[in-house]
Structure 1
Amino acid sequence: AIGVPGTVAGMTLALEKYGTMSIKEVIQPAIDLAEKGHILTDRYARGLNGRAPLFSQIP
């Protein structure tokens, strides 16, 4: 993943000013995905495997 400097700070400011959820509620789904991952369908896995040669060229 990539980001631009200040993105998280800007999103946090917007959440604090206009949001109705806590920062923890907002980021918890991302934390869960990072810790536990997610299930790939067979179709998605085949698609990734088919692109393995392309991925291997990217450092």
Structure 2
Amino acid sequence: MPRRKISNTQAVCIVLLWFLLVYILLRYSPTVDFMTVFTIIASGIIVFVPLYKNRRHKDR
């Protein structure tokens, strides 16, 4: 089954929700330690790699 393309509006919403998640995580975390930074980096990879791949294939 082919994957559906992500529209610009969907991509912006995903990115804004990720920034909101990072803000909440940093705002309410008692300390910024390795696990907090690791969580932000891992979630960023999970969010931005598929968006990048989608944009790269959309340009072709």
Look at both structures and tell me which one has the larger radius of gyration over its CA atoms. Answer: 1
Same-fold call, TM cutoff 0.5? no
TM-score by length of 1: 0.34
Structure possessing the higher relative contact order (Cα contacts under 8 Å, 6 or more residues apart)? 2
